[in-house]
Amino acid sequence: MKFSQEELVHMVYLLVEIDRNYLLASQKHPHVERKADVRCFQKLNERFERTEKVECKKQERPKTITNEENEFLVVGSAVEDPNVSMRTITRGIGIPLTSVWRILNRNKFHPFHYQLVQELDQRDFNQRFTFCRWCLEKE
């Protein structure tokens, strides 16, 4: 539950008044519709003692691995060899498979492999030869 900065300051003052008794503070808290429980007061007190601030610190995310340099390498690999698999790109560059997938999708590349559906092999020769002879005889 989010409290405004003004409410958080009031809650700290309330804690100081009653000697950091979290249970009593949660009972005396004036906001009925947004009641703060014991754990809320405890976390607020710990944060205030640690940082001397009442607001929550935003979580800092680590830098993303899909930066321009890696994007250039991934797209370059896909352009250079359109038949290369995403796993091969992953092993070559050293970034996670999901990041490679994300970069390719962002740049409108769709991974695929050519699949020859009408490939002729050795056993097809006899059948083709028979078919051609049949066509010539029919005329």
**Residue 63 confidence (pLDDT):** 65
Helix, strand, coil share (%) of the chain residues, nearest 5:
60, 0, 40
- Burial label for 36, CB within 10 Å (0-12, 13-18, 19+), is buried
Nearest to 40 by CA among 13, 6, 11: 11
pTM score of the predicted model: 0.43
Average pLDDT rounded to a whole number, residues 36-49: 84
Tokens at residue 51, please? Answer: 């940082």
Mean pLDDT of the chain: 83
pLDDT in tens, 47-85: 888 888 877 777 777 667 888 899 999 999 999 988 888
pLDDT of residue 92 exceeding 70, the answer is yes
pLDDT in tens, 10-33: 888 888 888 888 888 888 877 656
HSE, CB side, 13 Å, CA atoms: give it for residue 71: 11
Integer-rounded Cα Rg, in Å, for the chain is 34
